[in-house]
Amino acid sequence: MLKAVLRKVPGKEKEKEKQFLEVWDQNRKVKSIDLTALDKHGSVYDDDQFGCLAWSHSETHLLYVAEKKRPKAESFFQSKAPELGTSDEDTGHPKKEDAPIKGEQFVYHEDWGETLSTRSVPVLCVLDIEGNSISVLEGIPEHLSPGQAFWSPEDTGVVFVGWWHDPFRLGLRHCTNRRSALFYVDLTGGRCELLSEDTRAVWSPRLSPDGCRIVYLENNVLGPHQQCSQLRMYDWYTKHTSTVLEAVPRQAWGAFPGIYCGALPGMCWAADSRRILLDTAQRSQQDVFVVDTATGTATSLTADSPKGSWSVLTIDRDLLVARFSTPSCPPMLKVAVLPAAGHEAQTQWICLQDAPPVPGISWGIRTLQPPPEQEHPQYGGLDFDAILMRPSEGPAGHKPPLVVMPHGGPHSVFTAGWMLYPAALCRVGFAVLLVNYRGSLGFGQDSVDSLPGNVGTQDVHDVQLCVERVLQEEMLDASRVALVGGSHGGFLACHLIGQFPDTYHACVVRNPVVNIASMVATTDIPDWCLTETGLPYKPDALPDPAQWTEMLHKSPIRYVDWVRAPVLLMLGEDDQRVPPKQGLEYYRALKARGVPTRLLWYPGNNHALAGVEAEADGFMNMALWLLKHLQC
- The residues carrying an active-site annotation are 487, 575, 607
CB 91 within 8 A of CB 119: no
Q: What is the 3-state secondary structure (H, E, C) of 522-533?
A: CCCCHHHHHHHH
Q: Which residues have C-beta within 8 Å of that of residue 245, sequence separation ≥ 6? A: 230, 231, 256, 258, 259, 291, 296, 298
Alpha helices in 474-571 (DSSP H): 488-499, 516-519, 526-533, 545-553
Provide the strand spans (E) within 392-491.
402-406, 431-436, 481-486
* Spatial distance between the Cα atoms of 456 and 562, rounded to a whole number of angstroms: 15
Whether 63 and 4 have beta carbons less than 8 Å apart is answered as: no
Distance CA 313, CA 145 (A): 28
Q: Are 264 and 202 in contact (CB under 8 A)?
A: no
Whether the Cβ atoms of residue 126 and residue 63 lie closer than 8 Å to each other: yes
Angle at 306 between CA 303 and CA 312, to 5 degrees: 70
Q: Distance between terminal CA atoms of the chain?
A: 57
Residue type, 152: S
**Which of 390, 412, 383 is CA-nearest to residue 470?**
390
Q: Based on the number of CB atoms within 10 Å of its own CB, is 572 exposed (0-12), middle (13-18) or buried (19 or more)?
A: buried
Q: What b-and-e string marks burial along 44-68, b requiring 16 or more CB atoms within 10 Å of the CB? A: bbeeebbbbbbbbeeeebbbbbbbe
> Is the distance from CB of 489 to CB of 406 less than 8 angstroms?
yes
- 460 Cβ neighbours under 8 A, 6+ residues apart: 492, 495, 496, 499
Helix (H) or strand (E) holding 599: strand 597-602
Instruction: Give the Cα-Cα-Cα angle 81, 86, 87 (nearest 5 degrees).
Output: 110
Of 305, 310, 275, nearest to 290 by C-alpha is: 275
Instruction: Yes or no: say if 498 and 567 are a contact pair by the CB < 8 Å rule.
Output: no
The Cα–Cα gap between 280 and 258 comes to 8
Phi first, then psi: give them for residue 398, nearest 5 degrees. Answer: -70, 135
